């Protein structure tokens, strides 16, 4: 190894040779460490090589190669992420939630293949990270993109190039030729040890901590400034491909070895097994191994090993028939209920919440869990001081599963709903026939905060930058007493709030101005009328076409519309009858907020095959989210509803369509595939 003094005395030609040697050594040791899991030198020795390379490139910048390992420090920041469209989609997998469903998957494979012989499967860890695709042309990394919706992702190339074990240029261990084109797919994760170290460093500098490794990995890769990504310890695991040219592979096992041979990190936990029994054995192994793995997993992936059999099995909608994601049951932990408090929502509903002794559940420190309502609290008999089992519902929302009554010592306290609102002190009532307790004060600050957050949400006015902390300040300082007041807050008032610099204030004012042009259906959602969601709002906007016309509608008229029953109709008329709501609407109008539907919002063109048609969506779509598909249909003049009837013209069916699909078949309603729906959209252009 050359020390700094020797480096300073190198001639230009010697520096050129030494640079080449250093790059070869570093790439060799990267492969030994990440791919072969067989490091040949210590971290300190590796760091010394890296520093020497960086010093030489600083002294001889013209000799620095574009693919140098030091390039992993990040490119200049960008303003946004460009979109990347794929010709081969990154599809999702069907789920198996227990061993019985794993057996069902194996049974379906045998039925489809028409064989009784055991099938070979490749089982792999299901990484809990962020899926990306790396595109290489003639061995060079030219594009990196996130999964997105499977067909359209985001360009994160500069960020991905900062990940130490992502090859900038491929080379085969066996010396064979490189493919002219290959899309390598895998997961970006943050190893557990790296996550702990990162959070410890952030704690020392007073920065907020990441909740779990997955959030840390996803947030790090989706940075507009790649230099930030470069400072985060990310690791890429490869597990499949998209496009591939010039190479023929016969199995998933062969593919994984091929990827490893190209220099990619492939999990050493992948196993080739035969038959359902061995698959279940592996599932149990992964369950027991979960805590000891260096990375987070939330299940196991099972794939038919043979590519020939995969081709025979094919696909359904947005997932392959030949693979399944075996999900782990929700992780459960025992903790103590320190207290039970009450939260107040947008409509005044009081919700009991358990304050817990902090406990790590599936990588997230849980401090609170919802108790839903008093009936549920009483059913589970949750008391202050109880030892309880908690889990993250769907691995997302913390909830109390059960009480360990056998651990009670008599000191536990029964909780009763307060008679007055904990925020404003108003009387609390439980309307007849409802499970909910409600605050009777419509001006309650807690209700106002939630009302404004709903008004600003993406489905409603979509006001970027208006989050909970800022809304709380606006309410506490009396700057906003109704959603309409947002449009009359002055720039200097915003700039004087905590953490609101002048630029942030300008950005919020711009976002507020942009929100004034939202389509009528989003404005109706923003009003927060009980029981009126996005689908009902779209129905109301298409029929009445203005807030004025809607405000004059009677309950009888409203019930003539599809999907609107007595309860919804009464909620709408009650809303518009309240004086404070009429005042708010007039202030919104005075602020310049859109109050009517334009022709383009309902796609009035008679040329569109969707114009005037009633459309229902069911199942999981492949190329669109449900909202995107509904908005596109509405933009072409369709009336989008949530239930199937004899008046429905089309049902667009995705994966696992359910009861709406069955009802459409019984009624003889035309059922469209996603591809047919897309063709209708294109015919409307």
Proportion of the chain above pLDDT 70, given as a percent: 93
Residue 532 three-state SS: coil
- What is the Cα–Cα distance from 256 to 123, expressed in whole angstroms? 12
| Sheet with 181-189, side-by-side order of all strands | 140-146, 130-137, 181-189, 235-244
Q: Does residue 387 sit in the same domain as residue 339?
A: yes
For residue 363, the domain's CATH number is 2.40.50.140
Q: Does residue 228 sit in the same domain as residue 128?
A: yes
- What is the Cα–Cα distance from 675 to 653, expressed in whole angstroms? 10
| pLDDT tens-digit map of 214-236 | 888 988 898 888 888 888 999 99
Q: Which pLDDT score, from 0 to 100, does residue 603 have? A: 44
For residue 675, the domain's CATH number is 3.40.50.10190
Q: Is residue 256 part of a domain?
A: yes
Q: Which pLDDT score, from 0 to 100, does residue 434 have? A: 80
Q: Whole-prediction pTM value?
A: 0.58
Q: Decide: 426 and 444 in contact? Cβ < 8 Å.
A: yes
Is it the case that residue 77 has pLDDT exceeding 70? no
Highest mean pLDDT among 26-35, 65-74, 490-499, 546-555: 546-555
Q: Which pLDDT score, from 0 to 100, does residue 604 have? A: 44
For residue 568, the domain's CATH number is 1.10.150.20
Closest CA to 299 of 450, 128, 185: 128
- What is the Cα–Cα distance from 64 to 66, expressed in whole angstroms? 7
Q: In this structure, how many other beta carbons lie within 10 angstroms of the beta carbon of residue 379?
A: 10
- What is the Cα–Cα distance from 9 to 13, expressed in whole angstroms? 12
- What is the Cα–Cα distance from 270 to 279, expressed in whole angstroms? 12
Q: Does residue 540 sit in the same domain as residue 640?
A: no
Q: Is residue 430 part of a domain?
A: no
Could you tell me which residue, 50 or 233, shows the higher pLDDT? 233
Q: Does residue 644 sit in the same domain as residue 630?
A: yes
Is it the case that residue 520 has pLDDT exceeding 90? yes
For residue 159, the domain's CATH number is 3.30.470.30
Q: How many Cα atoms sit within 13 Å of 99 on the Cβ side?
A: 12
Q: Which pLDDT score, from 0 to 100, does residue 393 have? A: 59
Q: Is residue 365 part of a domain?
A: yes
Q: Decide: 144 and 132 in contact? Cβ < 8 Å.
A: yes
Q: Is residue 369 part of a domain?
A: yes
Is it the case that residue 331 has pLDDT exceeding 90? no
Hey, which residues are catalytic here?
126
- What is the Cα–Cα distance from 512 to 483, expressed in whole angstroms? 11
Q: Is residue 647 part of a domain?
A: yes
In which residue are the tokens 């070869």 written? 24
First-to-final CA distance of the chain:
65
Strand partners, 210: none
Q: Which pLDDT score, from 0 to 100, does residue 295 have? A: 94
Backbone angles phi, psi at 330, to 5 degrees: -55, 135
**What's the domain range around 485?**
445-515
Q: Is residue 164 part of a domain?
A: yes
- What is the Cα–Cα distance from 312 to 320, expressed in whole angstroms? 11
| pLDDT tens-digit map of 95-143 | 898 899 999 999 999 999 999 999 999 999 999 999 999 999 999 999 9
For residue 33, the domain's CATH number is 1.10.287.610
Q: Is residue 436 part of a domain?
A: no
Q: Which pLDDT score, from 0 to 100, does residue 548 have? A: 94
Q: Does residue 580 sit in the same domain as residue 632?
A: no
C-alpha 320, offset from chain centre: 21
Q: Decide: 182 and 91 in contact? Cβ < 8 Å.
A: no
Backbone angles phi, psi at 136, to 5 degrees: -120, 130
Closest CA to 395 of 361, 359, 358, 368: 361
Q: DSSP characters for 5-28?
A: HHHHT--HHHHHHHHHHHHHHHHH
Q: Does residue 580 sit in the same domain as residue 471?
A: no
Q: Does residue 122 sit in the same domain as residue 199?
A: yes
What are the Cα distances from residue 679, in Å, to 592, 674, 684? Answer: 37, 9, 9
The overall longest dimension of the chain from CA atoms, in Å, is: 92
Q: Does residue 276 sit in the same domain as residue 222?
A: yes
Q: What is the mean pLDDT of residues 147-165?
A: 89
Q: In this structure, how many other beta carbons lie within 10 angstroms of the beta carbon of residue 478?
A: 8
For the chain, the domain total comes to 6
Burial track 299-332 (b if 16+ CB lie within 10 A, e otherwise): bbbbbbbbbebbeebeeebbbbbbbbbbbbebbe
Q: Does residue 214 sit in the same domain as residue 314?
A: yes
What letter does residue 136 receive in the DSSP assignment?
Answer: E
Q: Is residue 429 part of a domain?
A: no
Q: Does residue 180 sit in the same domain as residue 266?
A: yes
| pLDDT tens-digit map of 363-381 | 678 899 989 899 999 999 9
Q: Does residue 103 sit in the same domain as residue 251?
A: yes
Highest mean pLDDT among 23-32, 212-221, 519-528: 519-528
| pLDDT tens-digit map of 597-630 | 876 554 445 567 888 788 998 887 777 777 778 8
Is it the case that residue 550 has pLDDT exceeding 80? yes
- What is the Cα–Cα distance from 341 to 351, expressed in whole angstroms? 8
Q: DSSP characters for 555-593?
A: HHHHHTSTT--HHHHHHHHHHHHSHHHHHHHHHHHHHT-
- What is the Cα–Cα distance from 469 to 50, expressed in whole angstroms? 43
Q: Which pLDDT score, from 0 to 100, does residue 1 have? A: 46
Strand residues in 498-647 grouped as ranges (E): 614-618, 639-641
| pLDDT tens-digit map of 333-365 | 899 999 999 999 888 899 999 999 999 886 678
Structural domain ending residue among the three candidates 515, 532, 556: 515
Q: Does residue 585 sit in the same domain as residue 610?
A: no
Q: Which pLDDT score, from 0 to 100, does residue 73 have? A: 53
């Amino acid at each position: 190894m050359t020390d700094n003094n020797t480096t300073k005395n190198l001639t230009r030609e010697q520096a050129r040779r030494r640079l080449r040697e250093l790059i070869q050594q570093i790439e060799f040791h990267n492969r030994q460490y990440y791919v072969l899991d067989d490091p040949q030198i210590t971290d300190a020795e590796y760091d010394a090589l890296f520093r020497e390379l960086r010093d030489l490139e600083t002294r001889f910048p013209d000799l620095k190669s574009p693919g140098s390992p030091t390039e992993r420090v990040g490119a200049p920041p960008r303003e946004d992420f460009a979109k990347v469209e794929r010709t081969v989609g990154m599809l999702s997998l069907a789920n198996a939630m227990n061993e019985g469903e794993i057996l069902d998957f194996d049974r379906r494979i045998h039925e489809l293949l028409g064989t009784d012989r055991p099938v070979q499967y490749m089982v792999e860890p299901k990484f809990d990270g962020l899926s990306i695709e790396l595109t290489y042309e003639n061995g060079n990394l030219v594009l990196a993109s996130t999964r997105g919706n499977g067909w359209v992702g985001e360009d994160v190339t500069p960020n991905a190039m900062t990940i130490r074990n992502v090859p900038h240029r491929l080379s085969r261990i066996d010396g064979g030729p490189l493919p002219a084109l290959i899309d390598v797919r895998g997961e970006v994760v943050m190893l557990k040890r790296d996550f702990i170290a990162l959070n410890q460093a952030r704690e020392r500098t007073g920065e907020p901590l990441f909740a779990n490794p997955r959030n840390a990995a996803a947030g790090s890769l989706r940075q507009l400034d790649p230099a930030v990504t470069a400072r985060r310890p990310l690791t890429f695991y490869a597990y499949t491909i998209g496009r591939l040219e010039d190479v023929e592979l016969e199995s998933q096992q062969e593919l994984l070895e091929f990827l490893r041979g190209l220099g990619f990190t492939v999990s050493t936990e992948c196993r080739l097994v035969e038959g359902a029994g061995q698959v279940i054995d592996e599932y149990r192994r992964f369950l027991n191994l979960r805590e000891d793995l260096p990375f987070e997993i939330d299940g196991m992936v099972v794939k038919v090993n043979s590519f020939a059999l995969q081709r025979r099995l094919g696909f359904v909608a947005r997932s392959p028939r030949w693979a399944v994601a075996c999900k782990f049951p929700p992780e459960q932990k025992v903790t103590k209920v320190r207290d039970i408090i009450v939260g107040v929502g947008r409509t005044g509903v009081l919700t009991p919440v358990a304050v817990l002794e902090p406990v790590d559940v599936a990588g997230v420190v849980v401090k609170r869990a919802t108790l839903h309502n008093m009936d549920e609290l009483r059913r589970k008999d949750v008391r202050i001081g109880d030892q309880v089992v908690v889990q993250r519902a769907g691995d997302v929302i913390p909830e109390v599963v059960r009480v360990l009554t056998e651990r009670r010592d008599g000191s536990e306290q029964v909780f009763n709903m307060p008679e007055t609102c904990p925020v404003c002190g108003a009387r609390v009532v439980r309307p007849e026939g409802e499970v909910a307790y409600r605050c009777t004060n419509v001006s309650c600050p807690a209700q106002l905060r939630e009302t404004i957050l709903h008004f600003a949400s993406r489905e409603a006015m979509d006001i970027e930058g208006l989050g909970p902390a800022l809304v709380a300040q606006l309410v506490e300082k009396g700057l906003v007493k109704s959603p309409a007041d947002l449009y009359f807050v002055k720039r200097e008032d915003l700039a004087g709030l905590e953490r609101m610099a002048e630029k942030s204030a300008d950005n919020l004012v711009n976002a507020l101005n942009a929100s004034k042009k939202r389509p009528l259906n989003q404005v109706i959602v923003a009003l927060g009328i009980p029981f009126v969601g996005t689908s009902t709002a779209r129905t109301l906007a298409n029929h009445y076409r203005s807030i004025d016309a809607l405000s004059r509608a009677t309950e009888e008229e409203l019930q003539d519309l599809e999907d609107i029953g007595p309860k919804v109709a009464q909620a709408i008329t009650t809303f518009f009858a309240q004086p404070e709501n009429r005042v708010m609407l007039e202030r919104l109008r005075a602020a310049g907020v859109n109050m009517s539907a334009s022709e383009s919002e309902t796609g009035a063109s008679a040329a569109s095959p969707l114009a005037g048609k009633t459309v229902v969506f069911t199942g999981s779509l492949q190329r669109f989210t449900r909202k995107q598909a509904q908005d596109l249909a509405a933009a072409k003049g369709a009336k989008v509803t949530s239930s199937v009837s004899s008046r429905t013209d089309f049902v667009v069916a995705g994966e696992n369509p359910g009861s709406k699909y069955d009802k459409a078949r019984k009624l003889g309603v035309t059922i469209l595939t996603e591809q047919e729906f897309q063709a209708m959209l294109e015919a409307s252009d």
